């Protein structure tokens, strides 16, 4: 199983907004269910704080 060429493809994709979404989706579907759950739990816990920080930085 040759992982590196696929990883290079994912990272080399054009990094516009649509490219970032496609890359995130490709990575997400390759994650095992336990890792997906951990990411969702961390997002629920830390997401609101991170969004508030981004909003405050944007205002400055």
pLDDT in tens, 8-49: 666 555 667 777 888 888 889 999 999 999 999 999 999 999
- pLDDT confidence of residue 2: 55
Tell me how many degrees the CA angle 25-10-42 measures, rounded to the nearest 5. 45
Do 26 and 10 form a contact (C-beta atoms < 8 A)? Answer: yes
Number of independent structural domains in the chain: 1
* Residue 5 confidence (pLDDT) above 90: no
DSSP tag of 24: H
Could you tell me the pTM of the whole model?
A: 0.58
- pLDDT confidence of residue 47: 93
Do 15 and 24 form a contact (C-beta atoms < 8 A)? Answer: no
Structure tokens at 5: 């060429």
Structure tokens at 37: 């759950």
- pLDDT confidence of 7, banded at 50, 70, 90? low
Q: Give the C-alpha separation, 52 to 41, whole Å.
A: 18
Determine the structural domain holding residue 28 and report its residue range: 4-59
């Amino acid at each position: 199983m040759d992982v590196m060429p696929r990883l290079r493809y994912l990272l080399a994709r054009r990094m516009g907004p649509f490219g970032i979404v496609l890359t995130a989706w490709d990575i997400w579907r390759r994650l095992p269910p336990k890792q997906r759950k951990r990411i969702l739990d961390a997002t629920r816990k830390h997401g609101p704080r991170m969004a508030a920080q981004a909003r405050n930085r944007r205002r400055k």
